[in-house]
Amino acid sequence: MSRRPALSIIIPAWNEAEWLPRTLAAVQEALSGIDRNSEIIVVDNASTDRTPQIAQAAGCRVVFEPERRISRARNAGAAVACGDYLLFVDADTWPDRALLQATLDALDSGEVCGGGARVTFDHLSHRIYRWGATAWNTLSARLALAAGCYVFCTREAFAAVDGFSEAVYAGEEVFLSRALKRWGRAHGQRVEILETPVLTSGRKADWFHPGRHILVVTQVLLFPWSLRSRRLSWFWYSRPRRQ
C-alpha cells in the first residue's frame, strides 16, 4: 500500500494567549479521529505574551518569525513543515473533524491542488456583518478564493507558486488562491472551496465599528496597492487596548 500523504497544520500567532488554547484543542480533537500522520506548527510572530509557551505545552512545534507580517509567518511555518499537505489555520479558528476529513479527501483525490472552506462566525452582532459574511461566502465559492482563516494546498503547488506573497501585509490568501488556480489549470487540478464550513471568531466585529469595516473594504477594492503598506493595512494589525 502506498504511503498516505502527511499533513502539516500551520497556525500563525501574534499575542494569541487568550485564543490559542481553544484552537489547539479543536485541531487536536479533529486530528484524533483521523488516521493520518500529522504535525501542528505554531509560528510565534513576535508575541509579547505567553503564546509560544502555550504552544510548547500543548506539544506543538514552535517557530519564531520576528517580522510582523502574516505572509512571512505563514511561509515560515511552511518552510519547516514535513507534510505533503499544508493547512493554514488562524489562531481564532476552530476546524472540526468533518472539515479536516473533507480537506484530506479533496487533496487525496488528486484533482484539487488547494482551497478553503465556507466561513461561519461564532457571533456577529450587526446585520451588516452578517450580510458581509454571506457576500464573502458567495464570492469565495464562485471565484474559488480561500478565506485566510482556513487555507489548504499540496506542498508541490505551494512551492511552485512560491508560497504566500511577502509583498503584501494582508490579503495574501487571495493572491495565493489566484496563483494556485493558474498552477492548477496547467496541471489538470483545481482550487476548491468546501461546503463543510469552518467556525471562526467574530472578534473583529466587536473591536471595530461597522463603518471601519466598510472603509477597509472600500479601500481594498479601490486601492488594492494599499495592501503593500503596513500603515494602510492597520485593520489587520490593530487591536483595542483592552486586548
* CATH number of the domain encompassing residue 119: 3.90.550.10
40 assigned to some structural domain: yes
214 assigned to some structural domain: no
141 assigned to some structural domain: yes
User: What pLDDT score was predicted for residue 160?
Assistant: 98
58 assigned to some structural domain: yes
222 assigned to some structural domain: no
Averages of pLDDT over runs of 10 residues in the chain (243 residues) are 80 96 97 93 96 97 96 97 97 97 97 97 83 91 96 98 95 96 98 97 80 77 80 77 56
Q: What are phi and psi of 149, to 5 degrees?
A: -70, -20
**Per-state percent for the chain, helix, strand, coil, to nearest 5:** 45, 20, 35
User: What pLDDT score was predicted for residue 217?
Assistant: 76
Residue numbers of the domain that contains 182: 7-206
From residue 124, alpha-carbon distances to 11, 70, 88, 138, 176 in Å are: 23, 24, 23, 18, 27
Q: How many domains does the chain have?
A: 1
User: What pLDDT score was predicted for residue 241?
Assistant: 66
233 assigned to some structural domain: no
48 assigned to some structural domain: yes
User: What pLDDT score was predicted for residue 40?
Assistant: 98
87 assigned to some structural domain: yes
Q: Please, are residues 114 and 87 in contact by the beta-carbon 8 Å criterion?
A: no
